[in-house]
Structure 1
Amino acid sequence: MRHIAIIGSGPAGYYTAEACQKEFGEAVQIDIIDRLPVPFGLIRSGVAPDHQSIKAVSRRYEAVALTDNVRFVGKLGIGQDVSIPELLALYDAVVLATGAPSDKPLGVPGDDLPGVIGSAAFVGWYNGHPDFAELAPAIDGADVVIIGNGNVALDCARILAKSAAEFEGSDIVGHAHAALTGAQPRSISILGRRGPQQIAMTPKELGELGHLERASVHVDPADLPPPESDAVLEPGQRKSVALLREFARTEEAKALPVRFTFFVQSVRVEGNGHAERLIVERTQLGANGEAVGTGEIRAIPADMIISCIGYRTSPIPDVPYDEQRGRFANVDGRIQPGLYCVGWARRGPTGTIGTNKPDGFLIAEEIARDQPQAAGKQGRAGLDALIAARGLAIVTFREWQKIDLAEIERARAGSPREKFVRVEDMVTASRG
């Protein structure tokens, strides 16, 4: 029997488990380990709560989790409860599928002032991640600046702008629902270092912003390049730019303005003990399409700044780390003999949820090439012995199903569930 441990129960973890099942058939046992008592990672705590159709992919992961040779081991911290060297001694292969859960710092003076929040923290707050449940951002009457031109920036803006009725059917957690529906920003600005044709926003998500009850979207026509230049863009990008052109022609003036501001880069955050304004420099496109500063400086009111400029994989003791790229040091997913990484932990935060599927199959094939025969290690039995010796209380997938049922039962009207946001409450529910 071949024994494989996968660290992380998000999309990359489950796609890798599925790939290993297909690669090795019944001659494999797979343990999917997560530090939280609940599975599904980014699907649970990263996908926007009003995008329930995307979250439905968790049913596929559940089917994998319920097969005989896959086990979920929740509430087990790697590097705290069990070390990587210990796992390598027990398993034929250890695959790190921990994603990139940490915010890349804004990297300008004043970015540590209260009121400056990373998107991982803000998204984690409204999605009920235990690490960020206590965030409590000050929203009411705030001039909010969102830095970044990707879909995460759109998610943050949309969630901030929604009315109470527009949260119907979402699984946004209670504390965020109460804060967002009981308050409204004064304004929302979405900043990009480059221009409309360089955004990383998809048309579906961008279009949603234009259909909100209390928000009107504004684009400065002067930031838009000549329409004929759109012809060289990819179809999806062309649709997104067309939406920006439509916003520029619209003269709606609802209660909450959402403004796109292109060609600006952050210089510093200023404020007396709290963020009050963001100083930015005007940019222009360089010869290779990069943002080049022009020296023109101005201030943008900013009581709350959400930085959506990228994520980093969290380091794990005894695992080589690439500080510059913010991920594990690896060559095509190989870190060292028996140790691999997959998904964002391998390549950085790029691609969609589905991108992790071929990534998982790549790693399964590499494991098969590197280790044609199982090494006769203890695997699951050895891990269980370690857990018992250290008095650790793990959460199984069957116990997660009890948490799942409890969250569904405690949902407010119009919501599919009310998530537990404290690990202790999750564990209590898992015990029935």
Structure 2
Amino acid sequence: MRVAIIGSGPSGFYAAEALLKRTDEVVHVDMFDRLPTPYGLVRGGVAPDHQNIKAVTRIYEKTAARPTFRFFGNVRLGKDLTVDDLRRHYHQIVYAVGNEADRRLGIPGEGVPRCTPATVFIGWYNGHPDYRHAKIDLSVSRVAVVGNGNVAIDAARILLRTPAELEKTDIAAHALEVLRKSQVREVFILGRRGPEQASFTSVELEELGEMEDAEPVVAPGELVGLIIPEAARSKQQQKNLKILQSFAERPLGTKSKKLHLRFLVSPTEVICGPDDGVSGLKLEKNRLEMQADGTVAARGTGEIEALEVGMVLPAIGFSAERISGVPYDEKKRVIANEDGRVIDPVSHLTIPNEYVVGWARTGPQGLIGSHKGASAHVVAHMVTDGTGLAEKVLPDPEAIINLLHKQGVQVVSFNDWKQLDDVEVARGVRRESPRDKIVDVEIMLSILGQH
């Protein structure tokens, strides 16, 4: 069996692991990524001050070391390879492309300078090549982060960390220099629903109380009017409420930076200032309504306030990018699928031998570790559907490499990546950090060309 996996983030590597551990069939996996570097969200999305989470790449390295695994970096599906190329060269295809697009607020003024999607900000400070030239202006004193998930917390935390805290991380060098000079002193995390519905994890929330020169601020009024009965709250909801209550009971300290956590507010307009950039954010107060199905909805009350801020970072979710030749679900903004099997979005008929894992399947939900079981679940479908498929004769395994070379693609192997890895770690030693990332693809390829 030969399987192509498109994308080298956690869900892709977990799918590869499950496939390569099969005992009923010998499986060869070729993993493709549009960047020369593997690991997807672990490299480009996990906050630089969370180095312990990034240690998961050691597991992925073990998968990559298997003799029946090949990595093809710097290969773009839809440009260097088509879906039809994959269908000719592989028995099955797995899309593990994640969610690279952001969801917008859809309110007046959203396009003004300093209203920047959190995806851009996070990619910028993580050294993602797509965002290395992003213009991040931190000359303002107050920032609003719209959203109540871990992405919002990550963005706020990086804005409020001291340079000394950030220097110990693998944050991109260009971002570190800008953050050294940052004038940001207050950050507001804004949620449209209540504290019970916030989707950040308790560990991330608690971490906000442990920063060197920033402290969380929760007004007692933010925690009144809870709608879910105490007995019906999940463990995470109980933990989050306990942490938020402890923040609300803290006396105001002497730390120079403040992180305000606010709930039941929705932005209705980005206010443009004299410099044509953000000068404020109009917020509508919400109330909660319990729906018949047990879910909670936020409804606007018509009560409007203006929050004075100089930057807005919307962090309200992600969506999958459309890929030429791959069915797309316009409503869910993911690859069209039914439990991981790719389907035609109109007829709902299954596309044979094509599958999707991770956020491209479900949207942005679940922590990194949760993708292991989810990817294995989809691989179980592949095993069921793949009976007898290996008898289909395919081109020689080297044919895909020849095809890419004819296209003029400089393919990056996993051994090539290890060379880049060594260079980044050596650069990091010089600045006393875990690594100093190379953020330009052309420079990466140039280094490999020299080797």
Q: Shorter chain as normaliser: what TM range? A: over 0.9
Mapped partners of 1:387, 1:427: distance in 2 = 15
The aligned residue for residue 414 of structure 1 is 432
Distance apart, 1:24 and its partner CA: 5.4
1:247–1:230 CA distance, 2 compared to 1 (3 A): farther
Residue 307 of structure 2 corresponds to which residue in structure 1? Answer: 300
Whether the aligned pair in 2 keeps the contact of 1:161 and 1:184 (CA below 8 Å) is no
User: What's 2:13 paired with?
Assistant: 14
Which residue does the alignment assign to 1:347? Answer: 362
**2:282 aligned residue:** 279
SS in 1 for 2:34: coil
- Equivalence for 2:221: 222
- State the secondary structure of the residue aligned to 2:183: coil
- Paired residues for 1:124-273 under 5 Å: 124-225=123-224, 230-253=230-253, 254-272=255-273, 273=276
What SS does structure 1 have at the residue aligned with 2:421? helix
How many angstroms apart in 1 are the aligned matches of 2:265 and 2:238? 22
Structure 1: stretches of 5+ with no match in the other structure: none
Moved segments of 4+, more than 4 Å: 226-231
8 Å Cα contact 1:197-1:230 kept in structure 2: no
Query: Could you say what the CA RMSD is over the residues aligned between the two structures, in angstroms?
Result: 1.6
Q: Between 266-275 and 276-285, report the one with greater CA deviation.
A: 266-275
Measured after TM superposition, the shift of residue 232 of structure 1 is 3.4
Q: Assess if the C-alpha contact under 8 Å between 1:160 and 1:184 holds in 2.
A: no
Distance, in Å, in 1 between the alignment partners of 2:60 and 2:448 is: 19
Distance 1:39 1:381 in 2: 21
Deviation, structure 1 residue 231? 4.7
The 1:287/1:235 distance shift into structure 2, 3 A limit, reads: closer
Q: 1:31, CA displacement in angstroms?
A: 0.4
Amino acid of the structure 2 residue aligned with 1:359: A
Question: Secondary structure of the equivalent of 1:259?
Answer: strand
Q: How many residues align?
A: 431
Does the 8 A contact of 1:31 with 1:380 survive in 2? no
Q: Which moved more, 1:229-238 or 1:34-43?
A: 229-238
Structure 2 residue runs of 5 or longer lacking an equivalent are: 343-350
On the 8 A contact 1:9/1:39 being kept in 2, the answer is: yes
Deviation (angstroms), 1:324: 1.3
**Partner Cα distance (1:386, 1:241) in 2:** 56
The structure 1 residue matched to 2:339, chosen from 316, 326, 332, is 332
User: Among residues 367, 381, 386, which one is paired with 1:371 in the alignment?
Assistant: 386
Contact 1:26 1:69 in 2 (8 A): no
Q: Deviations over 1:16-35 (max 9, x none)?
A: 00111122566221100000
How far 1:378 moved relative to its partner?
2.2
CA offset digits 1:223-264 (Å, max 9, x no partner): 213799545322222111111111111222422121111110
Aligned to 2:422: 405
Distance across 2 between alignment mates of 1:414 and 1:285: 48
**In 2, Cα distance between the equivalents of 1:66 and 1:75?**
19
Q: Which amino acid aligns with 1:189?
A: F
Q: 1:283 Cα deviation (Å)? A: 0.1
Shift of 1:184: 3.0
For residues 172 and 406 of structure 2, the distance between their equivalents in structure 1, rounded to whole angstroms, comes to: 37
Normalised by the length of structure 1, the TM-score is 0.96
Give distance in 1, aligned partners of 2:397 and 2:370. Answer: 29
SS of equivalent residue, structure 1 residue 380: coil
Query: Identity percentage over the alignment?
Result: 40
Per-residue CA deviations over 1:353-393 (Å, capped at 9, x if unaligned) read 11211222122222222221212212632311211222211
Whole-angstrom distance in 2 between the partners of 1:356 and 1:208: 24
CA contact (8 A) 2:140 2:311 kept: no
* In 2, Cα distance between equivalents of 1:50 and 1:397: 26
Change (3 A) 1:24 1:122: farther
Other-structure match for 2:345: none
1:395 is matched with which residue: 403, 407, 412? 412
